[in-house]
Structure 1
Amino acid sequence: MSFLSAETARALAELVALDALEGGDAETDATPLERLRGIRSLLAALESDPASLVAVREALDAGRSWEAIADAAGLSPSAAKYRWAGGDDEIASRQEASRKRKRERPSSVPTDLPGLSVTEAAARMGVTPQAIYQRVTRGLLRSETVELSDGRRYKRVFPDEGPAAHEE
């Protein structure tokens, strides 16, 4: 009996079948998009497959450390513990909280912020971002940190306003 779920075994079989088609014949070769779909399907199936959790629990029962488990999984020990420590309900709760954060987290920087980003200011002035930070620290450029209602913070620079005012 396979340790992989039926869904993962199916995705693996489909990818192996696509690989078997590759023989140099343009009529029978899988298209690049078919190959990409097959790869992504297998990755998604592997990520959700309970086989990893079962293997982790068996390794823990056999006395293996979180460091050894993390090494085998290609993770840091803290990431491995976060992913697999605790009972099924604890793990499901952490995964749902993570999914919720990802849904609520905007994927891009807002475009309606005042001033310029440090990177934009550096490009406009022909210097490195580090040089912008140094000029801000020295009071040669005005900057402010803008905090959005969701907690994200952005450093904004105002190069057209001249030197920052020094407080005495």
Structure 2
Amino acid sequence: MGFLSAEAARALAELVALDALHGDDTHGVGEPGAADTTPLDRLRGIRSLVAALEADPASLAAVREAVDAGATWDDVADAAGLSPAAAKYRWSGDDESIAARHEASRKRKRERPSSVPTDLPGLSVAEAARRLGVTPQAIYQRVTRGLLEARTVELPDGRKYKRVFLPEA
């Protein structure tokens, strides 16, 4: 028995079978194997394998074994193609703390829209900078010096936005 879960092994086997059906790049139009799979079938197979591998506990087991053997989070991150902070966030702690952290992240994503509201008062720092022909840092400096008015607007869902109010003149 391998280290992959049954679901990941099944998705891998299905993708390998799909690859065998598709054949290699030497097939010409009308030759056997050239059109045995559709591009969407291949894409679905690839995405199915990726999803199965993401959910597979084999990654967590490998990380725990590597850390127990002396690997650093930098080493783990390099092997996983992540930043050290992302690797540690994904895999540090026991199963319960990892599950709680991931559920809290999913909950935040569900509760917060991904777009900035367009009906906020004033201008964003970037908009004010463009309008005045300066950098956003210059806007922050002018606010600090009292040359521009700015307020932080907090929405009911907890998101906060710095808004700048330019003088009427």
With normalisation by structure 1, the TM-score equals: 0.73
Distance 2:147 2:18 in 1: 60
Q: Deviations over 1:43-77 (max 9, x none)?
A: 22211110011112222343434443333223344
Q: Note the residue ranges of structure 2 that are not aligned, 5 or more in a row.
A: none
Matched residue of 1:122: which SS? Answer: helix
**Aligned residue type for 2:88:** K
The one of 84, 98, 112 aligned to 2:119: 112
Cα 1:98–1:125 shift into 2, 3 Å: same
Identity across the alignment (%): 76
Is 1:118–1:156's contact at 8 Å kept on the other side of the alignment? yes
Amino acid at match of 1:57: R
Q: Counterpart of 1:165?
A: none
Alignment partner for residue 38 of structure 2, among 22, 30, 36? Answer: 30
* 1:89 aligned residue: 96
TM-score relative to the length of structure 2: 0.73
Distance 1:67 1:121, change over 3 A: closer
> Structure 1 residue 60 and structure 2 residue 67: aligned?
yes
Q: CA deviation at 1:128?
A: 4.0
| Aligned positions of 1:1-40 closer than 5 A | 1-20=1-20, 21=22, 23=25, 25=29, 27-28=35-36, 30-31=38-39, 33-40=40-47
Q: Say how many residue pairs are matched.
A: 161
Q: Which runs of 5+ in 1 are unaligned?
A: 163-168
SS of match in other structure, 1:156: strand
Where does residue 158 of structure 2 map in the other structure?
A: 151
SS of match in other structure, 1:116 = coil
* 1:104 CA drift (Å): 1.7
CA distance in 1, matches of 2:19, 2:50: 16
Contact 1:147–1:154 (8 Å) recurs in 2: yes
From the superposition, tell whether residues 67 and 120 of structure 1 become closer, same or farther in structure 2 (CA, over 3 Å).
closer
